[in-house]
A and B are shown apart, each in its own frame.
Chain A
Amino acid sequence: MSQPPKTVVKRREFLKVLGTTGAAATAVGCSMERVEQLIPYVVSPDHTVPGVSTDYATVCRECSAACGVIAEVRDGRAIKLEGNVDHPVNHGALCARGQAALQGLYNPDRYRGPMMRKDNRLQPATWDEVLARVRQGIDEARAANAASGVRFLSHHENGSFGAFVDQWMSAGGFGAHLAFDPEADLAARAANQAEYGSAWPALDFTAARLIVSIGADFLDGWGASVAHQLSFADARAKLGDAPRFVFIGARRSLTGLNADEWLACRPGSELAIANALLGAVGGGGNTTIAQAATASGVPEALLQRVADELRSTKPSLVLGGVSTPDAHLVAQAAARINKAAGNVGVTVKPDEGLAGLGGAAGAPALADLATAMNAGTVRVLFLRGTNPVHDLPKAMQFAEGLAKVPLKVSFSSYPDETSELCDVVLPDNHALESWGDSEPVRGTLGLQQPVMDPVFNTRATADVMLAMARADNAMSSRFPWATYRDFIASRYPSGRAAFAQALAKGLGQGTALARAASAAALPTTAQAIAGDGEFFLVVHPSPALGAGAGANKPWLQELPDPVSKIAWQSWIEIHPSTAARLGVQAGDNLTVTTAAGSLTAPAYVYLGIQPDTVAVALGQGHTAYGRYAQGIGVNAVDALGASFDGAGRLAWTQAKARVAKAGDRTRLVTVEGSARQHGRGIARAITAAQFAAGEMGEEEPHAFIGDASHEFLPGLRSPVANDAQGALGDTTSKSKGMYAQDHWSGMANRRWAMTIDLARCTGCSACVTACYAENNIPTVGARWQGRSLRPFHSADGAGWDNAPGANILKGREMAWMRIERYFEGGEDGSADFETRFLPMLCQHCGNAPCESVCPVFATYHAPDGLNVQVYNRCVGTRYCSNACPYKVRYFNWHGYGEVERRQYAFPEPLNLQLNPDVTVRGKGVMEKCSFCVQRIRDAEHRAKAENRDVQPDEFTTACAQACPSRAITFGDAAHEEWAVAKQVEDRRAYHVFEELNTYTAVVYLKKVNHPAAGGTR
């Protein structure tokens, strides 16, 4: 496979005719009168049958883990990303950020071509112009005999690219380049390197009996979170024998919320605790439990108990991943605990390490660069895929330095804070448009190939550099390759033919080109947390937006933060008791002031944070970076000074802060109604002890039909879906049509159903974004998508509700699948509370309250058990939503799918991502989860074409496919060969609100808790 061949007709013209996309789909009613023309291919390209998808294996570049993805390409455009099942890191799963790569590809704010600064603003230019300008700059530098003044700052990319750039730089006589990854935990990498000899060992949670995480958010962005999550979920799936998980930190992150126990410690005291634990397992350590207790504020008894547990439980797994200045020491201590406890090789496997995570530049190196720039010694600066002006503290004066550089060349695809300051922009292809390789695990190559022609007039940076090299006498000799593809292919161990074959799978044997590793010994000391003020300021990356790279993707902005459930906004987390003391209500604006600066954002009162700590997430506060990112929230880095840990990563938790009410309020853009279940048994749990004892846990099963604990076939036993039962049902009814069990279509013999295992689910929300991608769900939070506030208004802005997330403030988010986050306990503000995540989607009730009330049959029960919503029949009475106990029906309040409206959710070219198999819903109709009916039909078509029956587990829904916890199982519950049919018989199975006799097709399996000895939660 290779790039889809060029077509004579422009791709997009062609798509106008073939794609069933937004504009057309919303034209309600019959549009047969419109005269259309069909523009066919003249020479039909290989691998491309109009309307049939082609899959390309490539690499996800949204974080350094470099997961393998399969891009589904329809008519020359990528429409969906799914994990590569064969890939050693993600095994077919894909996180929300990976899913959202498509919105980076089709981002409407991408540079549409090369740009050059004329009369002091960036203006479109031709490639020749910009390349000439760059060459000129380099020549000037050489002439001034300051070749070393040519610097290259790149985003750290797993694979050969870094080394390729180094080669290029050295060939040109310039210095080695800097690779920067704001999220990389350099401290942990350095410590791992020092202790295990591997920057990122594989972590096997399944082998552990006890997991202790000291601030390591391994589920939300710390290292390869998908890989961690797969293993962690498998560990939790051992139910009774699953490892207990203790989380130690100042803030309960998503990872922390998945812990069975939380030791809320003062920021900066993690080292003391780590050392105490190290002592407890006999690995040395110079701190006693008592000292650690006083330092951290954790009750000594509690700490002692955990220490004993750690000593007595083998094997265990201890992870250190804080962001304080002494992070490297914490990581080191954690590694030593593992050594002392004999976990190395059992739960920590250095020889199977994730290779690609090494070799990113520390912030001090960037500081040096900034200094050099300010000193004026930098003549030419290349920037690629990185945004230091946003990601680095003002104190480092990067922007100021940038101004002093004669020629600043950006390869950025997006108009971010940094590229807007540059002189020349040579927009890079998106990862899905370019070649590359990665080394996810040692010895395995992940191959990255373009899945489609570039959307805009962009060029792959590597190719541009090759072109420049060949044009440069000094370098040409060392760069014989015409394209970066040739470069990659030429390096492929078993030759080009093998390479071409390997592309099909996206994986091959071999190693990526390595950079010269800098083995600096870790300092044994570290700065303390500085500053005055009674609060610690904890800054952490956002699980969805990272350090800011995700902010221009509406899917990620719309995705409620897994912890706070807030979207399109920044917020300051504050403990209830502290809030009470300061008289702060949720939504009151707080001003957090540190020595370095101050932030003002609404308060979010959160149980999972230390009373003397406030926390802010990174990622927002962009002053550029496109329509979706600009002007939303605050940039947490503004409150940070230039303080680094021993490995050179910017210390996010570095300062104490003063907190004051700003006086005004900002409504929190949250999707949370009530965070408590009010005893309604929606998200249920059972303790390991109860499970072992065979009890049902909290609530004993109701002994009536429909209870999942009975012999069970969702829906087929419900009275109203009586006719759906065919032979099982009312035999007096004569005509049942397709509902008859013996009807030739056999539809009534199927019952599409889903199980969701709450013991596995971590609440990461990957399924939510996967659903957005699969089902053309509009994002509604952008500030121009709000409603009008007064009768007379201009079409542009005045008179409209322009607050970010305006629609979400009105509860109008469209997420067909949402993750509900319920707290149990902790009403007194204590750290002893439990969190239950519950993915909620249409339950496809066998006895659906919504079906009987629809006046026009727009929603009805299909014989195969689906609760169908027929968009083009819906008149929008919204009665179905009122009747739905689960509140999983969503209404199109504005014309989100209509191009001419200000609320349009898919501004060109985002509309190219729309799934042609799914209707884009128009204004005024109801929509909801369809169990991915398009995938069901597709499977049926395939089976029919091959003249066979649909095979068990042959396909699955988008959410189940993406889920990195493998918590979701979809299938036909009426045939026991399907996995789901076994799952619904599980002892932990239950329906939400089964007392309503809705006979849901979505069956939840109770979460299993592992309370400390004597604990209940």
Chain B
Amino acid sequence: MATVAEPVRPTGAARPNVASANIQLPGVESYEQVDRDISGTLQPTAGWFALLGIAVAFFLWGAGTWVYQIYWGLGNAGYNPPVMWGVYIISFVFWVGIGHAGTLISAILYLFRAGFRTTIYRCAEAMTVFAVMTAGLFPIIHIGRPWKFFWLVPYPNWRLIWPNFKSPLVWDVFAISTYLTVSATFLYVGLIPDLAVLRDRATNPVKKRLLAVMSLGWRNSEPEWRHFARMYLFLAALSTPLVLSVHSVVSFDFAMAVTPGWHATIFPPYFVAGAIFSGIGMVFTIIIPIRKYFRLQHIVTINHLDAAAKLALFTSLVVGCAYLIEFWVAWYSANEFEQAYFWNRVFGQWWWAAWIMLSCNMIFPLSLFSQRLRRNPSWLFIISILINIGMWFERFVIIVPSLSHEFEPWQWSGYIPSWVDISILAGSFGWFFMWFLLFIKNLPVIAIAEVKEIVPPRLRTHRATADIDVTGHHVDFSPETPGEHD
């Protein structure tokens, strides 16, 4: 672990270069404060109820539309053959992608001992679980006969037939369900000590009992901690390959078809990078308002955001590289279909979608090279929204232009989503945020136990850094983390 950065006097307007890997929480004095601050966020507020109401309303509208679609047929969605996949599959890939940052941050960064993950991983992990729950709905929503979906699941049946294990869609079934199971377990295991904290602080007997059961009678004893740490490590090790496998499998949905623009070996790494990129985008979208409105800036410090932003920048560069390689391969392959498709993608029919994708995922994130912007939560928030939009359009660009501009010129077409597509997409956001909002007011949105690990030991009475912030300025204590340039 890094130590406090060397205090540097600011000279003029020059900004000191602060080691952003610094995960110390100068704003936190004691373990009690951690308990207090974090569990304090669990009190429902009017604003929260309002947001929850909106989310539920969106979800209900989407659900209603789905029922409508099941009755009246998929024809009411905007499909325009040969564009046989549209908003639903786009959103499926989008949500699965979102679902990647969580495990990456909680598992992989854990194994890499990247300290800045400590304060954000709980959020990310919850986001992962809910995102995968959302993604899992879309394959069912998009098929023609949803009531027959179980035919994709291998089970002994009187028809004496099995699913086609050659089909990537069947692989999806396994990939998604495994991922959901493991990430949910991981989330829960990580929660156990915190649940114990809540149990101890709970006053309502029913709630206390419930938490007691959920915390599996955690007593904070040394052997418990030993087992816990082992368990956590193993789960981390177990879910690490999943981060790579799931989106690789999802990418096979496309790479396995001969369709120009899909049939590329670069897809698995390209998709995984994109997924992590979009996931981190969504983490920012969620964590920045939370730390602001829950007044947790002193726990989720700007340094943590800075570090995460660097991760975003890196994945953005990988994704951008993948984009460029795609074009290069199209040219190098001398495959007329491939070339025609990529030309049409950027300069033809779909130029606008392609340029939204390129600018949001490749160009704007370059701004994160600037430390000043990296340390500016508002800018990070804006960028994160752009990333979300850009990554949704990445999937749009992969799916729609490919299908609308295939081998057969006679069958070239267009695509415009209908109100049904849009409603169900909106509904999926409602569904996601409904769960997330319920989560943040019922479970600690920041890992209490792990935060305590990085709080300076209690016994030190005079804290060397009490009156010096990470940038070396003398300040009186305030819950606001200094060094932020809002």
Interface residues of A (CB under 8 A from B): 28, 672-674, 676-680, 682, 787-791, 807, 810-812, 818, 820, 822, 840, 849, 852-857, 860, 873-879, 881-883, 885-887, 890-895, 903, 923-926, 993, 996
Stretch of B12-20, B79-87, B129-137, B325-333 lying at the A interface: B79-87
Shortest CB–CB separation between residue B252 and chain A, in angstroms?
Answer: 10
Q: How far is the CA of A252 from the CA of B419 in the complex (A)?
A: 42
Range for the number of chain B residues in contact with chain A: 35 or more
Closest B residue to A671 by beta carbon equals B410
Q: How far is the CA of A673 from the CA of B410 in the complex (A)?
A: 4
Q: How far is the CA of A493 from the CA of B83 in the complex (A)?
A: 62
Interchain CB contact under 8 A, A678 and B408:
no
Interchain CB contact under 8 A, B74 and A876:
yes
Interface string of B62-79 (1 = CB under 8 A from A): 000100100011111001
Stretch of B32-40, B254-262, B269-277 lying at the A interface: B254-262
13 A-B pairs besides A855-B163, A877-B143, A996-B258 with CB distance below 8 A are A673-B410, A678-B336, A680-B337, A788-B420, A807-B75, A853-B257, A855-B152, A855-B169, A856-B151, A891-B79, A893-B74, A925-B145, A926-B144
Interchain CB contact under 8 A, A893 and B79:
yes
Tell me which residues across on chain B come within 8 A of A677, comparing CB atoms.
Answer: 409
Q: How far is the CA of A28 from the CA of B139 in the complex (A)?
A: 21
Interchain CB contact under 8 A, B408 and A791:
no
Ordered by A's residue number, 28 sampled pairs between the chains whose C-beta atoms are within 8 Å are A673-B412, A674-B410, A787-B418, A791-B68, A807-B75, A810-B80, A811-B413, A840-B408, A852-B167, A853-B169, A854-B164, A874-B145, A875-B145, A875-B151, A875-B152, A882-B82, A882-B84, A882-B403, A885-B258, A885-B408, A886-B407, A887-B408, A891-B81, A893-B79, A894-B72, A923-B144, A924-B144, A996-B407
Tell me which residues across on chain A come within 8 A of B411, comparing CB atoms.
Answer: 673, 811, 887
Interchain CB contact under 8 A, B144 and A840:
no
Shortest CB–CB separation between residue A877 and chain B, in angstroms?
Answer: 5
- Across the interface, B256 reaches (CB within 8 A) one of A28, A852, A856, A881, namely A852
Tell me which residues across on chain A come within 8 A of B85, comparing CB atoms.
Answer: 878, 882
Q: Which of B322-349 contact A (CB under 8 A)?
A: 336-337, 340
Closest A residue to B173 by beta carbon equals A855
Tell me which residues across on chain A come within 8 A of B410, comparing CB atoms.
Answer: 672-674, 682, 818, 820, 822, 840
Q: How far is the CA of A883 from the CA of B85 in the complex (A)?
A: 11
- Across the interface, A882 reaches (CB within 8 A) one of B68, B145, B259, B340, namely B259
Of B84, B164, B256, B340, chain A has the most CB atoms within 10 Å of the CB of B84
With contact pairs A856-B151, A925-B144 given, residues A894 and B73 touching in the complex (Cβ less than 8 Å): yes
The reply to whether the CB of B194 lies closer than 8 angstroms to some CB of chain A is no
Closest B residue to A849 by beta carbon equals B258
Interchain CB contact under 8 A, B73 and A877:
no
The reply to whether the CB of B166 lies closer than 8 angstroms to some CB of chain A is yes
Interchain CB contact under 8 A, B149 and A812:
no
Shortest CB–CB separation between residue A529 and chain B, in angstroms?
Answer: 37
Tell me which residues across on chain B come within 8 A of A857, comparing CB atoms.
Answer: 161, 163-164
With contact pairs A791-B419, A811-B81, A879-B169 given, residues A856 and B163 touching in the complex (Cβ less than 8 Å): yes
The reply to whether the CB of B125 lies closer than 8 angstroms to some CB of chain A is no
Interface string of B403-444 (1 = CB under 8 A from A): 100111111110000111001000000000000000000000
Closest B residue to A791 by beta carbon equals B419
Interchain CB contact under 8 A, B81 and A812:
yes
Closest A residue to B171 by beta carbon equals A855
Shortest CB–CB separation between residue A707 and chain B, in angstroms?
Answer: 18
Closest B residue to A790 by beta carbon equals B419
Closest A residue to B168 by beta carbon equals A853
Shortest CB–CB separation between residue B257 and chain A, in angstroms?
Answer: 4
Q: How far is the CA of A28 from the CA of B418 in the complex (A)?
A: 27
Shortest CB–CB separation between residue B419 and chain A, in angstroms?
Answer: 6
- Across the interface, A883 reaches (CB within 8 A) one of B80, B143, B163, B258, namely B258
Interchain CB contact under 8 A, B169 and A28:
no
Shortest CB–CB separation between residue A459 and chain B, in angstroms?
Answer: 42
- Across the interface, B75 reaches (CB within 8 A) one of A679, A812, A881, A887, namely A812
Closest B residue to A922 by beta carbon equals B145
Interchain CB contact under 8 A, A789 and B419:
yes
The reply to whether the CB of B148 lies closer than 8 angstroms to some CB of chain A is yes
The reply to whether the CB of B184 lies closer than 8 angstroms to some CB of chain A is no
Tell me which residues across on chain A come within 8 A of B79, comparing CB atoms.
Answer: 810, 812, 891, 893
Tell me which residues across on chain B come within 8 A of A878, comparing CB atoms.
Answer: 84-85, 143-144
Q: How far is the CA of A276 from the CA of B467 in the complex (A)?
A: 109
Interface string of B140-160 (1 = CB under 8 A from A): 001111001101100000000
Of A673, A678, A789, A874, chain B has the most CB atoms within 10 Å of the CB of A673
Q: How far is the CA of A677 from the CA of B410 in the complex (A)?
A: 8
Closest A residue to B410 by beta carbon equals A820
Interchain CB contact under 8 A, A890 and B145:
no
With contact pairs A878-B85, A892-B73 given, residues A673 and B408 touching in the complex (Cβ less than 8 Å): yes
Interchain CB contact under 8 A, A875 and B149:
yes
Of B173, B258, B408, chain A has the most CB atoms within 10 Å of the CB of B408
Closest B residue to A683 by beta carbon equals B410
Interchain CB contact under 8 A, B258 and A892:
no
Tell me which residues across on chain B come within 8 A of A818, comparing CB atoms.
Answer: 410
Shortest CB–CB separation between residue B30 and chain A, in angstroms?
Answer: 55
Shortest CB–CB separation between residue B189 and chain A, in angstroms?
Answer: 33
The reply to whether the CB of B175 lies closer than 8 angstroms to some CB of chain A is no
Of A678, A882, A885, chain B has the most CB atoms within 10 Å of the CB of A882
Interchain CB contact under 8 A, B152 and A893:
no
Interchain CB contact under 8 A, A876 and B258:
no
Q: How far is the CA of A103 from the CA of B76 in the complex (A)?
A: 28
Interchain CB contact under 8 A, A993 and B68:
no
Interchain CB contact under 8 A, A893 and B80:
no
Of A680, A885, A996, chain B has the most CB atoms within 10 Å of the CB of A885
The reply to whether the CB of B57 lies closer than 8 angstroms to some CB of chain A is no
The reply to whether the CB of B170 lies closer than 8 angstroms to some CB of chain A is yes
Tell me which residues across on chain A come within 8 A of B418, comparing CB atoms.
Answer: 787, 789
- Across the interface, A673 reaches (CB within 8 A) one of B76, B169, B409, namely B409
Shortest CB–CB separation between residue B85 and chain A, in angstroms?
Answer: 6
Q: How far is the CA of A28 from the CA of B144 in the complex (A)?
A: 13
Tell me which residues across on chain A come within 8 A of B143, comparing CB atoms.
Answer: 875-878, 924
Tell me which residues across on chain B come within 8 A of A890, comparing CB atoms.
Answer: 81
Tell me which residues across on chain B come within 8 A of A787, comparing CB atoms.
Answer: 75-76, 418
Q: How far is the CA of A669 from the CA of B445 in the complex (A)?
A: 55
Q: How far is the CA of A297 from the CA of B65 in the complex (A)?
A: 61
Interchain CB contact under 8 A, A854 and B408:
no
Shortest CB–CB separation between residue B40 and chain A, in angstroms?
Answer: 42
Interchain CB contact under 8 A, A875 and B144:
yes
Tell me which residues across on chain A come within 8 A of B258, comparing CB atoms.
Answer: 849, 883, 885, 996
With contact pairs A676-B409, A852-B167, A857-B161 given, residues A875 and B84 touching in the complex (Cβ less than 8 Å): no
Of A820, A875, A923, chain B has the most CB atoms within 10 Å of the CB of A875
Interchain CB contact under 8 A, A679 and B336:
yes
Interchain CB contact under 8 A, A892 and B407:
no
Interchain CB contact under 8 A, A879 and B257:
yes
Closest A residue to B140 by beta carbon equals A875
Tell me which residues across on chain A come within 8 A of B73, comparing CB atoms.
Answer: 892-895, 903, 923-924
Q: How far is the CA of A812 from the CA of B83 in the complex (A)?
A: 10
Shortest CB–CB separation between residue A702 and chain B, in angstroms?
Answer: 14
Shortest CB–CB separation between residue B330 and chain A, in angstroms?
Answer: 15
- Across the interface, A856 reaches (CB within 8 A) one of B82, B164, B336, namely B164
Tell me which residues across on chain A come within 8 A of B337, comparing CB atoms.
Answer: 680
Q: 7 closest pairs, A vs B, by CB?
A: A876-B144, A924-B144, A893-B75, A673-B412, A674-B409, A878-B84, A855-B169
